[in-house]
């Protein structure tokens, strides 16, 4: 789910959160100490552990992370309880500066474990979509992009968008996790 942040105060809050996360960021590629500039960052080890699990068990997750790592995006992932019971995660545009574009991915920590990786893949698909569209440099250009390639999910308080590719990415990861789980069970 793409959520466009609507107020300056929210943007400032998101940016300050990103700065706090950046100062204590843990890289998805933590196993490779030579990774000088990870593009997916979080101060939440359990989110990074989930992504690492996805990288081991899902071709889709590996492809998404590779696309993001090869882009100009920096993505800060965090846990936050969603005030909207219909939104378990969302991606928001934060800023563009110094040749980088900054996004925030927020995931509701109340998710069941079986929902987490497909939902992360769903959000990372949104990030990969944005990575491939260099014209997205603000909330407004993000909204214009998703009006073109996605569809509105409604909401009277905020514009929210979805894409078929993000839905499919989550579904693929669900299948891949089942397949690798079944293969591991058969190997025992």
Q: What is the pLDDT of residues 46-55, one digit of tens each?
A: 999 999 999 9
155: confidence class by pLDDT, cuts 50, 70, 90: low
Q: What is the pLDDT of residues 96-139, one digit of tens each?
A: 999 999 999 999 999 888 899 999 999 999 999 999 999 999 99
3-state secondary structure of 139: helix
Q: What is the DSSP letter of 151?
A: E
- The CA distance from 5 to 17, in Å, is 14
Delimit the domains of the chain by residue range.
2-182
Can you tell me the mean pLDDT for 130-157? 88
- The CA distance from 121 to 167, in Å, is 9
Residues 123/90, Cβ–Cβ less than 8 Å: yes
3-state secondary structure of 64: helix
3-state secondary structure of 86: coil
């Amino acid at each position: 789910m793409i959520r466009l942040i609507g107020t300056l105060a929210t943007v400032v809050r998101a940016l300050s959160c990103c700065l706090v996360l950046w100062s204590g960021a843990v890289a998805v590629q933590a196993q490779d100490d030579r990774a000088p500039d990870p593009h997916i960052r979080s101060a939440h080890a359990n989110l990074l552990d989930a992504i690492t699990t996805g990288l081991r068990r899902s071709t889709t997750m590996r492809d998404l992370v590779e696309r993001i790592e090869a882009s100009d995006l920096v993505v800060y992932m965090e846990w936050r309880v969603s005030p909207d019971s219909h939104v378990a995660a969302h991606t928001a545009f934060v800023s563009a500066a110094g040749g980088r574009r900054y996004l925030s991915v927020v995931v509701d920590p109340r998710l069941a474990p079986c929902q987490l990786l497909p939902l992360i893949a769903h959000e990372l698909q949104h990030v990969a979509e944005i990575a491939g569209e260099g014209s997205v440099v603000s909330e407004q250009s993000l909204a214009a992009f998703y009006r073109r390639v996605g569809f509105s999910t409604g909401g009277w308080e905020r514009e929210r968008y979805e894409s078929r590719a993000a839905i499919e990415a989550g579904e693929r990861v669900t299948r891949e996790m089942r397949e690798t789980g079944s293969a591991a069970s058969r190997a025992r």
